[in-house]
């Protein structure tokens, strides 16, 4: 084995001197179990037995990069004291699915604008704090900023908003902070929003400053109890399309901390295919024709 520390030298610049891909044996069951349990302890993400192939394919690129010859050696490395620390960020980037796009769940944005904001304003709010938990590359957070500028601010000129986007994967947060997107992300945006809220250069669409300055991004692991305790005082939380990666126990922990992070009278959205059934009964369920919002009463 070539140690991971030796492998990423300035000389090879992270580019493998030779390809190991064809030599790597399939991941043995005990290695998969050890890796899965390490990932679960760190993130709450649980890889079912049928997702072994996914882990293999994600990690194999890293093996090549580090010139490590087997999954066993790699797992030994990441479980070592120094490997645990050094590989943490890479693992977060490698194992997460970051699919997202602008205006992904339109009914939720409509409820946000037409029902939740008026209710919060009627309750006396002059500043709304919104959290896009598991923001990935930031499309949801920036969508909210655009809706605020386009629809909410004209109705409530003295209302202000603070949008915080958080994610566990450092790579996606770098994109989010730049506010630069490609065609894939903007596929669901109306030409009106595209023209008004982006500048385009060589196929790169950059969110205009007026929207970007309403949003900030931070690294946050939703499974980190201590960090989660610091996330408080939010009026609306969007925690969409991430609970599906957790097992029941981690879902309960995360949702309970999201509940604590909300102000009384605040709201939570989860993904279209996700449910709080068996996870939390603390919220009041608000049924809308095309989406559900959860209220902390």
Ligand X SMILES: C[S@@+](CC[C@H](N)C(=O)[O-])C[C@H]1O[C@@H](n2cnc3c(N)ncnc32)[C@H](O)[C@@H]1O
Query: Which residues here bind ligand X, judged by CB under 6 A?
Result: 43-45, 96-100, 104, 134-136, 140, 167-169, 172, 221-223, 240-242, 245, 271
R_g over Cα of the chain: 21
Nearer to ligand X, 67 or 96 (CB): 96
Phi, psi of 212 (to 5 degrees): -60, -35
CB of 96 to ligand X, least distance (A): 3
Please name the residue ranges forming H helices in 104-261: 106-111, 117-122, 139-147, 153-155, 170-178, 191-197, 209-212, 225-229, 248-261
CB of 104 to ligand X, least distance (A): 5
CB of 47 to ligand X, least distance (A): 12
Nearer to ligand X, 67 or 241 (CB): 241
Q: Distance between CA 7 and CA 69 in Å, rounded?
A: 11
Nearer to ligand X, 64 or 108 (CB): 108
What residues are paired with 181 via a beta bridge?
205
CB of 123 to ligand X, least distance (A): 26
CA 265 to chain centre: 24
Nearer to ligand X, 104 or 212 (CB): 104
CB of 93 to ligand X, least distance (A): 8
Nearer to ligand X, 109 or 156 (CB): 109
Return the H-helix or E-strand segment holding 42: helix 29-43
CB of 255 to ligand X, least distance (A): 13
Give Cβ neighbours of residue 247 (< 8 Å, ≥ 6 apart).
40, 44, 46
Phi, psi of 14 (to 5 degrees): 80, -5
Assess contact for 257 and 225: CB atoms under 8 A.
yes
- 3-state SS assignment for residue 293: strand
Nearer to ligand X, 131 or 156 (CB): 131
């Amino acid at each position: 084995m070539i140690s991971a520390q030796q492998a990423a030298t300035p000389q090879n610049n992270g580019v493998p001197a030779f390809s190991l891909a064809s030599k790597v044996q399939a991941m043995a069951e005990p290695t998969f179990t050890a890796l899965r349990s390490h990932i679960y302890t760190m993130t709450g993400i649980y890889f079912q037995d049928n997702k072994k192939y996914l882990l293999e394919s994600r990690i194999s690129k890293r093996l090549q990069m580090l010139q490590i010859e087997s999954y066993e050696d790699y797992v030994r490395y990441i479980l070592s004291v120094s490997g645990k620390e050094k590989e943490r960020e890479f693992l977060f980037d490698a194992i997460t699915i970051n699919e997202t796009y602008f205006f992904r769940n339109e009914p939720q944005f409509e409820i946000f604008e037409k029902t939740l904001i008026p209710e919060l304003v009627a309750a006396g709010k002059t500043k709304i704090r919104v959290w896009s938990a598991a923001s990935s590359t930031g499309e949801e957070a920036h969508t909210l900023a655009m809706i605020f500028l386009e629809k909410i601010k004209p109705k409530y000129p003295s209302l202000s908003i603070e949008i915080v986007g958080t994610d566990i994967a450092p790579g996606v947060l770098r994109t989010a902070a730049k506010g630069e997107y490609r065609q894939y992300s903007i596929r669901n945006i109306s030409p009106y929003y595209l023209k008004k809220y982006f500048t385009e250069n060589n196929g790169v669409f950059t969110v205009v400053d007026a929207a970007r300055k309403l949003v900030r991004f931070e690294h946050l692991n939703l499974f980190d109890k201590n960090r989660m305790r610091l996330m408080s005082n939010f009026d609306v939380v969007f925690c969409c399309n991430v609970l599906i990666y957790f097992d029941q126990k981690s879902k309960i922990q995360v949702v309970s901390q999201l509940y604590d992070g909300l102000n009384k009278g605040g709201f939570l959205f989860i993904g279209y295919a996700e449910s709080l059934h068996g996870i939390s009964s603390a919220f009041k369920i608000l049924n809308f024709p095309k989406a559900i919002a959860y209220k902390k009463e």
